[in-house]
Chains A and B, each alone.
Chain A
Amino acid sequence: MQLTHSHKVGLTLLALVAAALGLMGWKVRRLGYSFADVLPVTQYEVTYAFDFDGHGGDVRVRSFLPSSDARQAVSDERDQASGMHLTQAMDGPNRVATWTGSEVPDGARIRHTFKVLPHRIAFTIPADLQVPDAYPPSVVPFLRPEKEIQVDSPEIAAMLARLGADRGTVLERLQRIYDATHALPVRPFKGTTDALTALRLGEASCNGKSRLFVALARAGGLPARLVGGLIMDRGAKRTSHQWVEAWVAGHWVPFCPTNGHFAELPERYLSLYYGDETLLRHSNDLNFAYQYETRTALVPSPKAKASFTMFDVWGLFDRLKLPFTLLRTILMLPIGALVVVLFRNVVGMPTFGTFLPALLAAAAGSTGALYGVGAIGVVVGTVALARWGLQRLELLHSPTLAILLAAVVFSLIAITMLAERTGIQPLTQVTLFPIAVLAICAERFYLSLTEHGAKAAGQELAGTLLVMLACYAVMNSLALQVLVIGFPEVIFLVIAADIYLGRWVGMRLSEYRRFRALLLEEKR
């Protein structure tokens, strides 16, 4: 029982693997591709949710909106405000948003949503960097005192001297100021704490610590400013946050004395405004409720999109206005099919057809896996019922299939209506399921039901759904999707795996059970 042509198979495998690895290596070395860019990044969706009861008169709500910079990319901004008009203006580096409305009734609401792709930054301040004698004119204002940043107060000067932050290199001064403000016990004050109050109390909230930091830095000859924004934690919150930036050799370097970040800022920090401002102001006499809502989602790294340009399928789909999900679905099908092969030939799990589970998994991309399984269950049940009824009419095969297709359409529309009625948004996408795939699935189920009985048909349906879930998990892995887009030669490796499995004579897992008595029996 020897297999023939083994050397041909071996050579083909070798060629495929060598081609794939060679192409990958070439791209990484010559075209600057990076495997790290394959990993998805977290995109945050932030919503300003303001609800208030107007008094029938004029209402103004004023806040800040984020700008894109080197640390955060802001996109997909949209505003939904009932009866309120949004105007935007730049005030220095800040984007000021003002919502105005006249005769605003009770129950008014503002929802302003945007997506942010932030990343962590960290600076290294040279240890020997000296405080310069003069600063560019644009930076000079950040050395001056402000109402709540009392740079010229003798108490500040005394503290600076005590800390030793009035002498030494830039790094030494910043380190001492940072250590002192970071060491202050945190106390969640309501409202604002000025620099002096923080100093006198010896404890402060984020804005008190930050003002004291800025006051000390400015007094020590280092330009500094307040930064306001949000820490984007998933869920809803009402607290905003403040931290500081110091101007060091042409860069605004961030510090957060409250949460202990020195010359660095974590990913979750969203910068909204610079300077001693208030994030949210509104007209008086409003019963005003507000919160900031954050949702997260994984998205392909923008670096991957920018650097994986050799075949640029990405750009092709963009130009043709085809959705990214379609691109992913198509590219992931070979991998889904490999998963099916593994389940059928290695595990020995019965499924309807060879690639139905992969196709179903691709289809479930729009509804999500669990709703997809539910929808398939409903459709298959309906169609099997219809088929059972039709059996009594003794119709020919093709017209029967045509009627079953109608049953699929009816059940899909019924599911959609039900989903809309119950507010299950993902399930409303069920009509995007390829109807033919569902009809085939249902027909297979019925055939199996009549030919092999309820138990076998149920096992096959369960197997199909299980393998579909496995396919879904693999095919919806964003990292794998970007990998295939950037390195389509991964498909060569998939083909190599298919070839290997195509020549694999090992026993299926299910056969270990089927022949268990034979396997362990002594040789006869």
Chain B
Amino acid sequence: MSLLHLLGASRRALAAGRERVVGINRRNLALVYPNNPRHHYPYADDKLLAKECFARAGVPTPETLAVCDGLFAVTGVVEALRGKGRFVVKPANGSGGGGILVVGDWDEGAGGWHQAGGRLVTPLQLQRHLADIVFGVHSNQLEDRAFVERRVVADPLFAALWPDGLCDVRIITLRRVPVMSMIRVPTAESGGKANLHQGGLGIAVDLATGRTSRAVHRGRAVEAHPESGARLVGLQVPRWDEVLEVARRTAGSVPLGYLGIDVVLDAERGPLVLEINARPGLEIQNVNALGLGPAVARAEGRAG
């Protein structure tokens, strides 16, 4: 084959590649803007508002223990939580995992909650954290609401991948049709957060079967978790049909057509929806080694 042929071939391959791979410009113009009207963004950005929609549509979520919607409510919430344990405090409009406080069991003797790593959170610290959230410290806005959720007990499969944090399944849906999915696993490097750009790990999950096919960490294909050593490829996600069904129901519960849905698997309750994202990231393509283009086209065909 001549050099010209080779160049022509790689040019054609690149052109085909450009059709397959969706970049930010195309995602915004062709997927986000037509399917997610801006005035409906609060359904994705405000986790409490989203939870209300989920509840109405029968989408399972972690149980809400308390909502703190103003400075006046802070002390009441802290008193209600005293003596209880294993919960998570979140800002309703947080982003990138900021402002999330995870606590373990209540220790009456020490007068606080134990945290991973042996630290203790006192009621005063919790009070201050809630006040920060209410003042919008973690949400780039003037005020926010805080809410307290029961901690998810991870399914053994996920607990094995990363015991210190929570792995979730990210499912992209277009008009209620699942398009692509992956598991996001935190690493020590990512500070316990599952976000891929912060050093988290992505595992491709086959939509039809729920089996993991490949894993990517920092842009490189890996077979095992770089820190825990857990095997990542060839796993079967339990209750996969339920996960997909929950994703479909979630997508139908809000007036947003293109979503990234974050599902966790609770050991007892099964799939629970944590949150939804109206502008899901594109790294899922690298994790799956698949462009979103053909997958979206198929989904468009199915969604009609």
Contact = CB atoms under 8 A, between A and B. Distances in A.
Contact of B136 (A397, A451, A452): A397
B13 interface: yes
Contact of A505 (B29, B132, B286, B290): B29
A396 B134 CA distance: 11
A507 interface: yes
A504 B285 CA distance: 21
B25 A518 contact: no
B210 interface: no
Contacts of A320: none
A503 interface: yes
A119 interface: no
Interface in B1-50: 10, 13-14, 16-18, 20-26, 29-31, 34
Given A2-B30, A397-B136, A517-B286, A506 B25 contact: yes
Contacts of A524: 289-290
Contact of B286 (A1, A504, A518): A518
B58 interface: no
A69 interface: no
A508 interface: yes
Interface string B272-304: 000000000000011001110100110010000
A295 to B, nearest CB: 47
Contacts of A505: 23, 25-26, 29-30
Nearest to A400: B137
A2 B297 CA distance: 10
Contacts, number: 83
B96 interface: yes
A503 B24 contact: no
Contacts of A345: 25
9 contacts: A4-B34, A397-B135, A451-B96, A452-B197, A505-B26, A518-B21, A518-B291, A519-B13, A520-B13
B221 to A, nearest CB: 9
Given A1-B297, A396-B135, A518 B289 contact: yes
A523 B26 contact: no
A520 B10 contact: yes
A419 B13 CA distance: 56
Contacts of B25: 345, 504-508
A133 interface: no
Given A397-B137, A507-B23, A518-B291, A3 B285 contact: no
Interface of B: 10, 13-14, 16-18, 20-26, 29-31, 34, 96, 98, 128, 132, 135-137, 197-198, 285-286, 289-291, 293, 296-297, 300
B286 A523 contact: no
Contact of A3 (B13, B20, B30): B30
Nearest to B221: A517
A397 B133 CA distance: 12
Chief secondary structure at chain B's binding surface: helix
Interface string A1-45: 111100000000000000000000000000000000000000000
A508 B137 contact: no
A514 B282 CA distance: 10
A3 B29 contact: yes
Contact of A508 (B24, B29, B135, B136): B24
A3 B17 CA distance: 20
Nearest to B131: A396
B290 A511 contact: no
Given A397-B137, A504-B25, A506-B23, A515 B285 contact: yes
Contacts of A4: 34
Contacts of B22: 1
A521 interface: yes
B93 to A, nearest CB: 14
A520 B11 CA distance: 9
A522 interface: yes
Nearest to A524: B290
B11 to A, nearest CB: 11
B289 A517 contact: yes
Nearest to A508: B23
